[in-house]
Amino acid sequence: MAANFPNITISIAHNRDGSDATGELNTLSIGFGLFASWVFTAVYGASTIFGPSPSIEGFPAVSDDLASALTFAFLCTSAVVLLLIGITNQLLLRFYVSKRALVSSAVLACAGTLLMMAAPLGGVAVAVVSGVCMGFGSSIMTALWGTAYARYEFTTIILNATISIVVGVAVFLALTHWVIPPFSGVITAAIPAFGALLLWKLTPVPYYVREEIPIFHPLSIRKTAFFVRFGIPVLVLGFSLGTVRKIALSNVLPATDLTSQLIVGAAACVSVLVIVATVAASRDESHWDSIFRVVIPIVAGAIFCVPLLDGEFHSLACFVIVGGFICFEALVWIFFSDLSQEFRLSPIYVFGIGRGMIFIGYIAANSFFDMPLSGVSLDPLLSTDDSFLLMLVLVIGYALLPRKRDIRRLIAPIHPEQDNTDHIREKVVSRASETQADSASLDPDGQPNGADPEESIHVKGRFHTRCEEIADRYLLSRRETEVMFLLAKGHNAAYIQDKLCISKSTAKTHINHIYRKLDIHTQQELLNMMEEPEPEPVAVGLGAKLTSVSRHMKAPVAKKK
């Protein structure tokens, strides 16, 4: 299924250096859209999809109280599990990058959703167990989807994240309006399995299964400072996002009249255009900073329109609220994905800590405003004073949010003694010794199959280590590091395009970015840099190192004749 989905490449901006900012619309948008629709429907629409059935007389319906118990258990479990995933991202890395994690999360999500059908018979206890299972499954799958997104460049992240939220809203509307219970509940329970199939195609075979040394490691960060500088603003934003999400999913989207549904469709289209136009209008490389500046006022307008839902401006309020909800949901996912990709941070850590803090913000918002956790209406709606308070919280969260320069200050210096690949190298050497071939043909890395395995691993490890040193020193992004690795092996842009399944313009854009950051102009200069010995470490502060990096990043790229 994933293999037949076309990869659509779209050029949405032109940078000052003449390179294109292109994005690929691929299976990320469908797969993550299905995952988002499952969260929206199973968590916030349980009383609807498992409600009274007009086709099955006497079918036990899920009450609002049981749905509220499910939602509360889901939010609490997700907050705790996501934070644990972030904290243990390196300790349990083998599990998080394995397909066992994907299968386990899909099984828990599907089973937890189906278990909710028995809640009318088993009571609150069954609803809580259902929410716990769904929370575990959702948390693991969130980390996996975050890792999948972090493998792509910024414009691809933008396109797929925005479209996926629209897909999630569309499926939510279809299941809550056009499919009758209990069939809507059964279909909802099957959605995580379909999303997992798409994610399976996007998840590479783990490095330890391939018996390879991990080529690139995530950059080290000052974890305590990062948690405070990143986690607290995200928690504050989660307070606002939780309220907007709850109002959109419980009060606006469940409306059954055709006019309201047309308004939702129009708001979804406008939201996509706003985010894409924001990137297209930028003449520099666009990142989350530029999108935040546009989306935050839209979200503030959505919060301001909440008290208008009961008045004569109901249609306008619905339009703005849905648009703000879609933009806000997409923005948070873009922020985490680009943060991981741009600075080569562990996406498991970023999404674990980030989404965990957001869920804490959700819980705080529901408790502060005393809003029902489930149901199709909010009674009472937010007052004008509550809306102004919520807008103030939103502005504070945005003001506290770290910018790119702040993230650079949180990256810890790299020390050789921190390398943790020795035990992996020993395992690869051992496996290579057992399976050494007698022929002298070359393997894909250019090493004779009959060569001494320890010598081969030593050469291979030295090359990879040098790639890591350069990537760490110049803060190359995750995708740029992959491209640099292939360039350093002598491959051209056409080979890189085929190897990484990206467009020709995207490959050239990455190459231009690498040359600019490294302050070089040709591939031969990169090869020369690979042969240079690493300079002796100097006892300087991180600020001086970052100043040097910044100088290299601003160096102009010479045009080829």
Quick one: three-class SS letters along 302-364?
HHHHHHHHHCCCHHHHHHHHHHHHHHHHHHHHHHHHHHHHHHCCCHHHHHHHHHHHHHHHHHH
Contact of 301 with 202, CB cutoff 8 Å: no
Average pLDDT over the chain reads 80
Q: Map 46-79 to HEC letters.
A: HHHHCCCCCCCCCCCCCCHHHHHHHHHHHHHHHH
pLDDT band at 543 (very low <50, low <70, confident <90, very high): very low
Most confident of 154-158, 204-208, 261-265, 440-444: 261-265
Burial class (CB in 10 A: 0-12, 13-18, 19+), 267: buried
Burial class (CB in 10 A: 0-12, 13-18, 19+), 386: middle
Token pair, residue 140, equals 């693991």
Contact of 552 with 474, CB cutoff 8 Å: yes
* Span 134-150, average pLDDT: 95
Give the separation between CA 309 and CA 330, rounded to whole angstroms. Answer: 24
Give the separation between CA 209 and CA 267, rounded to whole angstroms. Answer: 45
The domains of the chain, with CATH numbers, are 8-409 (1.20.1250.20), 454-561 (1.10.10.10)
Residue 26 reports pLDDT greater than 90:
no
- Residues β-bridged to residue 9: 24
Cis peptide before 182 (omega within 30 of 0): yes
pLDDT band at 38 (very low <50, low <70, confident <90, very high): very high
Residue 448 per-residue DSSP state: B
pLDDT band at 454 (very low <50, low <70, confident <90, very high): very low
Least confident of 139-143, 266-270, 379-383, 518-522: 379-383
Give the separation between CA 96 and CA 109, rounded to whole angstroms. Answer: 17
Give me the pLDDT at residue 434, please: 42
Give the separation between CA 450 and CA 508, rounded to whole angstroms. Answer: 36
More confident site: 464 or 424:
464
Is 23 in a helix, a strand, or coil? strand
* Span 34-39, average pLDDT: 97
Q: How does pLDDT run across 475-491, given as a tens digit for each residue?
A: 787 788 889 989 998 99
Contact of 200 with 102, CB cutoff 8 Å: yes
More confident site: 469 or 418:
469
Contact of 118 with 126, CB cutoff 8 Å: yes
Give me the pLDDT at residue 13, please: 55
- Which amino acid makes up residue 484? M
Give me the pLDDT at residue 191, please: 97
* Span 154-178, average pLDDT: 93
Give me the pLDDT at residue 16, please: 55
Residue 51 reports pLDDT greater than 50:
yes
Contact of 127 with 73, CB cutoff 8 Å: yes
- Residues β-bridged to residue 25: 8
Residue 302: count other Cβ atoms within 10 Å of its Cβ.
Answer: 31
Q: How does pLDDT run across 81-117, given as a tens digit for each residue?
A: 999 999 998 888 889 888 899 999 999 999 999 999 9
Give me the pLDDT at residue 230, please: 95
Burial class (CB in 10 A: 0-12, 13-18, 19+), 463: middle
Contact of 115 with 74, CB cutoff 8 Å: no
Q: Identify the helix (H) or strand (E) that includes residue 22.
A: strand 20-25
Give the separation between CA 198 and CA 216, rounded to whole angstroms. Answer: 25
Residue 205 reports pLDDT greater than 80:
no
Q: How does pLDDT run across 66-78, given as a tens digit for each residue?
A: 999 999 999 999 9
Closest-CA residue to 153 (of 484, 478, 411, 407) = 478
Residue 404 reports pLDDT greater than 70:
yes
